[in-house]
Chain A
């Protein structure tokens, strides 16, 4: 068992102030609340200095106590929430709206633990804002998050690395031949959840869904539907060193469920952590080794930071890369059974990584005026 880091980035861990960030204008807003509250509660239990930063469905920010329950969010923004603002720029960060005479008061925080799933927060946009605001945060940086949430771009990276994956094409309104037979699975091109996934018989229906399904408005990818395949998931992290979790085989809740759906994953209590599963999955040695080595390679290919969950499809022998979740539900805490890693160990490592390994290194060397001096007049450039 790895030792719990007691110092992070030359600071004692219990002197680090942690903000747990959750919610967000995403279809997975509610799931994110569950992840965020689990993280916050675990940090409180370990005596860390922690508070919540709740991002509402309409994009407003609130500071909330770390000990809230899911039920406190049933009616929307909880009663004890204080409105705060995210300010970007060199003096940026979170600030509390001051009184009528006072100015905005800065909120002290050393690190933000990002628990936002699905939409902004897992797509690079929140990461960009945090970078510009000078906030250090856990989980993927801008590029890694954006890649993970773009199923088409991710497939390109996987294919280029020579790893196996099912054919995946952009579904365009004019497409008539995909090059592989139906039935098909239509998925939103952008989006981390199982929401909006459709199973269709033919291309005409697929194109029709493109118009009708609101989740596909930003584009869709289409893949062959293979009922013989099941999911296999593995979590990876690269801090303090590259490590892999046990392999999980999630179950479909009913025999009739064609694909592991949103309800299977999340409508079961505390989110992903209570979904039905086989863990560790009983697999052949060859398959397990292949998946572990592919997961390690994907961690490098997608610049994993924090904890990512890589999902594969397999029939027991053949296997395919399906997707990477760069901010997985419950931060994939339940997968770390062999070797066991407790949730607080996982979180302390995330915090340590966030403080020690910056996501953004703006660089202005080379902008030394040489170009400006030799430029002459702007009018001359236009002429």
Chain B
């Protein structure tokens, strides 16, 4: 029996090592947030009946190990193989071996070793080895908690350096937040002012504490007049913390939506977290299309801040309806820009009206003359993967909206799909659905599925994360005037055809096989492969 016990401990250790590689990658992809690894563990082991059965075998093995140690081998084998579908290395986003991952790995490894040594010494080796192997996601979460203070101290040195740099260069700081539209608005603003100011914008993925500190330290060159910072948030207090060392002169909230709802709990808490950006700014720009932002605008005015309200108008609306200083009307085939009630420019379809309005308002606050804004607003840069249109080799049109992850953006993309092509076009939506919507995730994806059915001929569902919700929505009978406001189904006819695939390459292959000249495909959102 001793040999069996030793074998189980060894197998458990090896399984834990393999699981470590697997789940460290998930920790990295999930921005090192404690708790995220365990959440993804539950997702993967419960993905489908097959994975659930594997998890049951592992748990049963663990339970039996108390009485009969060799059962632990079953647990070790299942853990070593991992939940079916979650590779060791990852296809789309492999583990990048950074200093931070190294620290995390070392602490997790130490926890495993300590647990095993203590267990062997106290005579409970096999059961603890099997348990540790199975609990690797939890151990990594624990390591994330343990390394938290150290990582914050490391970040602090970068933040201190960034603070000194900001003081020396002394740019006007524009901070932009919002559930969506941040990156586009930032890009538009940088473009509008680039002709008359030296401007530096933070890179898209650098919107948290460490990222913005790095953006300042590496990009804020001497002589920069305007620094545009995109601020993201996963929880209350984060933006207030950013503003403590990167205080904005002008603050912008583009829009509020149920993005990262999973981490916030409610949309009211999202509003409160975003509103932190207004505290230190003297001037604020708010999109009052959202009633909640209008309330914030009134509050900011009471505090003596300069408030610039922006709004969008529907097709056909007259300028009189413009309630903000800057309004942009979506004319479907283009946009019309109004400043203080006067039409100043028309631009081609593509950018979202609200984002253009916010960017123009900030440019005005920076003292850019209207003539200069008008001369540049016609050439706003397209943001990659945000409803970007590309002609495919097969002659069909590709709408790439793979960076979008919010319901409002998804609806706008479906309108664009409807506008693209002609009467005989076949229209296809390829999507894994949207994530991080908390308790509303199933409902939102189901609604999206229903909306897809209104304008598309085919829906290709990628992966399993939202498969059930998307298909349920797509197959539910249409009720009255559709979600998108079109009269009945507007596709070529016949019911929506649904296809399910595991990975995006299969979806791309399906599209190549089935689409031809004149057709349109919308790629809506993309999920890295640590999502089931």
A interface residues with partner B (beta carbon < 8 Å): 25, 56-60, 75-77, 79, 212-214, 217
Contact A58:B218 (CB < 8 A) given known A212-B195, A214-B197, A214-B198: yes
Whether the pair A213, B195 counts as a contact (CB closer than 8 A) is yes
Query: Closest approach, in angstroms, between the C-beta of A57 and any C-beta of chain B?
Result: 5
- Complex Cα distance, B215 from A25, in Å, reads 14
Whether the pair A58, B165 counts as a contact (CB closer than 8 A) is yes
- A sample of 9 cross-chain residue pairs with beta-carbon separation below 8 angstroms, ordered by A number, consists of A25-B221, A56-B218, A57-B218, A58-B165, A58-B219, A58-B222, A75-B205, A76-B219, A79-B98
Note all chain A residues with C-beta closer than 8 A to B203.
75-76
- Complex Cα distance, B214 from A219, in Å, reads 32
Interface size class of chain B, counting residues whose CB lies under 8 Å from the partner chain: 20 to 34
Whether the pair A76, B198 counts as a contact (CB closer than 8 A) is no
Nearest 6 pairs of A and B residues by beta carbon = A76-B218, A212-B196, A214-B198, A25-B221, A57-B221, A77-B218
- Complex Cα distance, B200 from A214, in Å, reads 13
- Complex Cα distance, B372 from A213, in Å, reads 11
Chain B residue with Cβ nearest A57: B221
Note all chain A residues with C-beta closer than 8 A to B206.
75
- A57, A79, A214 interface centre (most CB from chain B within 10 Å): A214
Query: Closest approach, in angstroms, between the C-beta of B150 and any C-beta of chain A?
Result: 16
B window 279-317: CB within 8 A of A? none
Query: Closest approach, in angstroms, between the C-beta of A122 and any C-beta of chain B?
Result: 16
Note all chain B residues with C-beta closer than 8 A to A56.
218
Contact A58:B217 (CB < 8 A) given known A75-B203, A76-B203: yes
- Complex Cα distance, B96 from A25, in Å, reads 29
- Complex Cα distance, B346 from A300, in Å, reads 54
Contact of A59 among B222, B225, B372 (CB under 8 A): B222
Query: Closest approach, in angstroms, between the C-beta of B366 and any C-beta of chain A?
Result: 12
Whether the pair B219, A57 counts as a contact (CB closer than 8 A) is yes
Whether the pair B195, A58 counts as a contact (CB closer than 8 A) is no
- Is B270 at the interface (CB under 8 A from chain A)? no
- Complex Cα distance, B219 from A75, in Å, reads 10
- Complex Cα distance, B140 from A309, in Å, reads 57
Whether the pair A212, B218 counts as a contact (CB closer than 8 A) is no
- Complex Cα distance, B218 from A79, in Å, reads 13
Chain B residue with Cβ nearest A211: B196
Whether the pair A212, B372 counts as a contact (CB closer than 8 A) is yes
Note all chain A residues with C-beta closer than 8 A to B218.
56-58, 60, 76-77
Kindly list 19 other residue pairs between chains A and B, CB separation below 8 angstroms, not including A59-B222, A76-B215, A214-B197.
A25-B222, A56-B218, A57-B218, A57-B221, A58-B165, A58-B217, A58-B220, A75-B203, A75-B205, A75-B206, A76-B203, A76-B218, A76-B219, A77-B218, A79-B98, A212-B372, A214-B198, A214-B225, A217-B223
Query: Closest approach, in angstroms, between the C-beta of B382 and any C-beta of chain A?
Result: 15
- Complex Cα distance, B196 from A75, in Å, reads 26
- Complex Cα distance, B223 from A79, in Å, reads 26
Note all chain B residues with C-beta closer than 8 A to A213.
195-196
- Complex Cα distance, B220 from A56, in Å, reads 10
Query: Closest approach, in angstroms, between the C-beta of B236 and any C-beta of chain A?
Result: 28
Chain A residue with Cβ nearest B219: A57
Note all chain B residues with C-beta closer than 8 A to A212.
195-196, 372
Query: Closest approach, in angstroms, between the C-beta of B299 and any C-beta of chain A?
Result: 35
- Complex Cα distance, B225 from A212, in Å, reads 13
Note all chain A residues with C-beta closer than 8 A to B219.
57-58, 76
Note all chain B residues with C-beta closer than 8 A to A79.
96, 98
Query: Closest approach, in angstroms, between the C-beta of A90 and any C-beta of chain B?
Result: 28
- Complex Cα distance, B203 from A77, in Å, reads 13
Chain B residue with Cβ nearest A76: B218
- Complex Cα distance, B193 from A213, in Å, reads 10
B window 204-246: CB within 8 A of A? 205-206, 214-215, 217-223, 225
Query: Closest approach, in angstroms, between the C-beta of B444 and any C-beta of chain A?
Result: 31
Whether the pair B214, A76 counts as a contact (CB closer than 8 A) is yes
B window 359-399: CB within 8 A of A? 372
Note all chain B residues with C-beta closer than 8 A to A217.
223
User: Contact mask B168-198 → A, CB, 8 Å, 1/0?
Assistant: 0000000000000000000000000001111
Contact A58:B221 (CB < 8 A) given known A213-B196, A214-B196: yes
Chain A residue with Cβ nearest B216: A58
- Complex Cα distance, B196 from A56, in Å, reads 24
- Complex Cα distance, B224 from A214, in Å, reads 10
User: Contact mask B91-110 → A, CB, 8 Å, 1/0?
Assistant: 00000101000000000000
Query: Closest approach, in angstroms, between the C-beta of A30 and any C-beta of chain B?
Result: 12
- Complex Cα distance, B223 from A217, in Å, reads 10
- Complex Cα distance, B468 from A229, in Å, reads 66
- B98, B195, B198, B206 interface centre (most CB from chain A within 10 Å): B195
B window 127-166: CB within 8 A of A? 165
Query: Closest approach, in angstroms, between the C-beta of B172 and any C-beta of chain A?
Result: 13
Query: Closest approach, in angstroms, between the C-beta of A123 and any C-beta of chain B?
Result: 14
Note all chain A residues with C-beta closer than 8 A to B195.
212-213
Query: Closest approach, in angstroms, between the C-beta of A53 and any C-beta of chain B?
Result: 16
User: Contact mask B463-505 → A, CB, 8 Å, 1/0?
Assistant: 0000000000000000000000000000000000000000000
